[in-house]
Amino acid sequence: MKKKYMVLEIEKGFKKNLNFNHNIYGLLTDIFFYEDIYQYQDNIYFIDITNYEELYKKTAYQLALDLKNKITKKNNSLKIGIGTNLFLAMTACTIMTKNKKTKIAYLDEKEYILTCSKYKPISDFWQISNSMSLKLKKLGIETMEDIRNYSYETLYNEFGYNAEYLINHSLGLEPTTIEELNKNKTPKTISSSVTFKNIKSRKESMKELKNLLDFNILKLKENGLVTKKIYLYIKYANNIIPKEVISIDLLTTTNSYKSLMQITFAIYKEKLSLFFPVEKLAISFGKIEQEKDISYPIPKKRKKLNIWMKNLFYKKKKLAILQS
């Protein structure tokens, strides 16, 4: 099955706060599994949607539209890009939505070659900084098409390892996956949430809270992580009283099942209204760190391929894309 990704970008000018960020992540985890989400920046989320078209019996565009309609109740300044890899999804989000004046755009390799090859400025593309674009300009390179037609050996001499990103992106290629990103970087938060089909009393909702905590604590332990902060989100049925986001600061970092359960349940019982039923719960761990007493294997250095072999690979790939 061919991979498919979604990039969700919320306008930076929007006033961000804890409640907003938590609600967005909680909404995403209502629809997608935690492992398929990666928060790239405060306002940008990557989502692997490969398996969700079949799961929800919807197209990628329909999934994006549903997601946009749910979030736009909170913020209208939102764009979504869909692509067959993360670079194409990011390009669709940042460039195609601007060109087509739409909030949702899609790119595959062929469409990218046809529509983005001569796009300027080149610094609008993901991972090309202003300083890098100036260096490219000195070489006479102003578009992705220029990179494709340039001497790869010269690019490697000028940019070193970064030349591989430039060449890959000029062809619309990006090997990095969300699974790799989640493995290589400590997450900012670990969250889970549940929306009840039938509203729950305090006693009933506590069973669901335990399940959410089980999931989050398991994620901490699986990845050798500890937390120092807990966020508890409570939404009451029919908005009878305002929703609550409770922040709990821990005295020390931990992934102890017993400690996290005791603290969360004590606060939950104290803060939750006994008289009003609950419609939605979310639990999030923040201030996440690597557990200090766990030793991690040193990653092996990536072997550099011979430039001649790389030239051959890229030429074949370029020919295949242009002929498709």
Query: Are the CB atoms for 46 and 181 separated by under 8 Å?
Result: yes
Least confident stretch, 10-14, 97-101, 288-292: 10-14
In this predicted model, what pLDDT tens digit does every residue of 86-129 receive, in sequence order?
999 999 999 999 877 788 999 999 999 999 999 999 999 998 98
pLDDT over threshold 80, residue 12: no
**Mean pLDDT to the nearest integer, 300-310:** 50
Least confident stretch, 122-126, 247-251, 268-272: 268-272
- Render the burial of 211-221: b for 16+ CB within 10 Å, e for the rest: ebbebbbebbe
pLDDT > 70 fraction of the chain, expressed in percent and rounded: 83
The pLDDT, as a whole number, for residue 194 is 81
How far apart, in whole angstroms, are the C-alpha atoms of residue 150 and residue 122? 15
Map out the domains of the chain with their CATH numbers: 5-126 (3.30.70.270), 186-290 (3.30.1490.100)
Residue 233: pLDDT band by 50, 70, 90 thresholds?
A: confident
The pLDDT, as a whole number, for residue 138 is 93
**Mean pLDDT to the nearest integer, 230-248:** 83
